[in-house]
Amino acid sequence: MSINKAERRLGWLLCAPAVVAMLLVTGYPIAYALWLSLFRYDLRFQAQRSFVGLANYASVLSSDVWWKALTNTLLITIGSVSVELILGLALALLAHKTTIGRRSVRTAILVPYAIITVVAALAWKFAFDPTTGFVNALLGLQNAWLTEHWSAFFVIICSEIWKTTPFMALLLLAGLTQIPADLLKAARVDGATAWQRLRLITLPLMKPTIMVALLFRTLDAFRIFDTVYVQTRGAQDTETVSIVGYNTLIVRLNLGLGSAVSVLIFICVLLIAWLFVKGFGAPLAQRNGGRS
């Protein structure tokens, strides 16, 4: 009994530093953000600080900027994650199946993961630049891609897809390796085509892995910041919710209004997670793949 108690105490003692660090830098600030969002608090006009209740939320929710940014964010999220799922699945199948140069393929897939997002965004930006880039010369075009709404979106989404598909592919690969090879072999002997094997055996068995990968990538894509900031700074109507939050807080130093934006982003993320868990039955608590 006393050993049990000692074990309990030791467990908590060992976990405490990590838990305290996590609470201090995320728990406390999010509570502080909730509090700040109820005030008119602009660092440039500090004297005007006053309690305004939900007024900040009202002004964010009634502004075009927020809804435009939310639409843009969802557009980028859905656009990139859906392509990533297909591309990632193809890459995972490739890394799983290919016999020649399997190691080089697996290594190559990891390369985009190793590139920092800002550098990836710059590489794509310079590639599409009308004066330095090779894309226009290659396609025989004269476009200034990042100065027009839809083409800017195109470049942003392409950069995102390139940068984050490896993560998707690796998670899916982990799921793939768990499918018993005998099952696929048996189906093959019974005359199932490659497409039938993929659709009737591989995909259903991978559903949990796919759901988890989708959930993580969706939440990650929803907070997109680096790529947009580097490529357009939100110009041409490419502002995302993170850019709006950043600009309000750090550029315009409006802590009250900015905190309201932050809290709304937080709520959106919770909503997405909830949708995935309730709506699609994503096994959130389960560890992805690799579990034996």
Partner 1 sequence: MTFRLEKLFWSGSGLLAVVYALLPVAWIVSLSLKHPADLNDQRFFASRISFDNYRTVFSDSQFPAALWNSVGIAGIATLLSVALAMFAAYAIVRLEFPGKKAVMAGALAIAMFPPVAIIGPLFNLWRLFGLFDSWAGLILPYMTFTLPLAIWTLAAFFREIPWDLDKAARVDGATPLQAFVYVIAPLAAPGVFTSAILVFIFAWNDFLFASALTSTNAARTVPAAIAFFTGSSQFEQPIGSIAAASVVVTLPVMLLVLLFQRRIVAGLTAGAVKG
Map the footprint of partner 1 across residues 173-212, applying CB under 8 A.
Answer: 173-174, 212
Judged by CB, which is closer to partner 1: 22, or 54? 22
Residue from the set 1, 2, 17, 204 that interacts with partner 1 by CB under 8 A: 17
Residue 258 beta carbon to partner 1: minimum distance, rounded to whole angstroms: 5
Which range in 62-70, 179-187, 197-205, 222-230 contacts partner 1 by CB under 8 A?
Answer: 222-230
Q: Which of residues 152-171 bind partner 1 (CB under 8 A)?
A: 162, 164, 166-167, 170-171
Residue 86 interacts with partner 1 (CB under 8 A)? no
As a whole number of angstroms, the distance between CA 70 and CA 245 comes to: 11
Residue from the set 104, 149, 186, 199 that interacts with partner 1 by CB under 8 A: 104
User: Can you tell me which residue has the tokens 């993170």?
Assistant: 242
Residue 22 interacts with partner 1 (CB under 8 A)? yes
Residue 179 beta carbon to partner 1: minimum distance, rounded to whole angstroms: 14
Residue from the set 75, 179, 184, 216 that interacts with partner 1 by CB under 8 A: 216
Greatest Cα-to-Cα distance within the chain, rounded to the nearest angstrom: 79
Q: Which of residues 113-142 bind partner 1 (CB under 8 A)?
A: 113-120, 122-124, 126-127, 129, 131-134, 136-138
Residue 280 interacts with partner 1 (CB under 8 A)? no
Residue 66 interacts with partner 1 (CB under 8 A)? no
Residue from the set 72, 106, 152, 206 that interacts with partner 1 by CB under 8 A: 106
284 burial level (CB within 10 Å; 0-12, 13-18, 19+): exposed
Judged by CB, which is closer to partner 1: 54, or 194? 194
**Which string of x and - marks every residue 228-267 that binds partner 1 (by CB under 8 A)?**
-xx----------xx--xx--xx----x--xx--xx-xx-
Q: Which of residues 24-53 bind partner 1 (CB under 8 A)?
A: 24-26, 28-30, 32-33, 36
